Amino acid sequence: MSDHLPLGEEQAGGGSAGTVTGADEDGPGGSFDYDAELRLHNEHFRAAARVGPRDRVLDIGCGTGQTTREAAAVAVEGNAVGVDISERMLERARRITDELGFSNITYEQADAQAHRFPPSHFDLCISRFGTMFFADPHAAFSNIGRALRPGARLVLLVWQSSDRNEWASAIQQALSAEPSAPTAPASGPDPFSLANPAVTEGVLTGAGFTDVGFTDVHEPVYYGPDAASAFDAVGHLWQVKESLTGLDAATAEQRRARLRAVLAAHDTGDGVYFDSRAWIVTARRP
């Protein structure tokens, strides 16, 4: 709750992000499947990326590699490089990629804020919820920009403000000491750091990008096929674990019961969904 806090992932530059930043495992066979959580968002993102058959694609915060593989599947005469700070997620990305037989993908464990990418090399940089946690966004996007050839495109998917993302408050309130009180901003990495278009445009233009644009994406995030599955999944997220640490057994169970009730209230019969809003941010390297 990466992808989300709709429940998120890594906490540093170039890490994938779902809803609630941070989890123990990912994907099918793990405890939280970020690709499933973001499947509706991903359709918009893939269309906006407009990968070409000869493109050399850089994927920042690639996580377990879904967006990298989708880019490489189109860039049949090019290639895709996925970058993430989580070696655990990259191990899974490499395993899936090898199983599917891709030969035009490489993965690198690196912080995109400081990594020495080949200069003026890539035709397209993409990132699905992987750019909100840079310690120094100006330095990060300047570094990414140097890796892009003149005229190359940047396509990001980032969260809009927390008040436009139901997942950002509902679970936190369920686990708080006073669930009826206004939700306080979560401590730690900020999944909403690029939510303000004026601020984000300033960061990107300051890093040398032009033609910055924003497209609204209004889709729900998915936490599981039913409330029980969703409860099992979100229980592995660091934010949920942290909120229950140090509590006595009765208090912890009371908050778990509230969490179960919130998830049950969002069970549509076709899955557990929470409302969310995101931006597709596009820009160009002059």
Spans of all domains in the chain? 34-284
pLDDT computed for residue 71 by the predictor: 98
> How many other β-carbons are positioned within 10 Å of the β-carbon of residue 36?
18
- Contact between 89 and 11 under an 8 Å Cβ cutoff? The reply is no
> How many other β-carbons are positioned within 10 Å of the β-carbon of residue 177?
9
pLDDT computed for residue 51 by the predictor: 98
pLDDT computed for residue 12 by the predictor: 39
Q: What is the pLDDT of residues 100-146, one digit of tens each?
A: 999 999 999 999 999 999 999 999 999 999 999 999 999 999 999 99
Q: What angle do CA 171, 195, 12 make, to 5 degrees?
A: 75
pLDDT computed for residue 36 by the predictor: 87
Q: Which residues of the chain have pLDDT under 70?
A: 1-32, 179-189
pLDDT computed for residue 28 by the predictor: 38
pLDDT computed for residue 183 by the predictor: 53
- Contact between 125 and 119 under an 8 Å Cβ cutoff? The reply is no
Q: What is the pLDDT of residues 3-39, one digit of tens each?
A: 333 344 433 345 554 433 333 344 333 446 778 889 9
The average confidence (pLDDT) of the chain is: 87
Distance CA 142, CA 209 (A): 9
CATH architecture of 34-284: 3-Layer(aba) Sandwich (3.40)
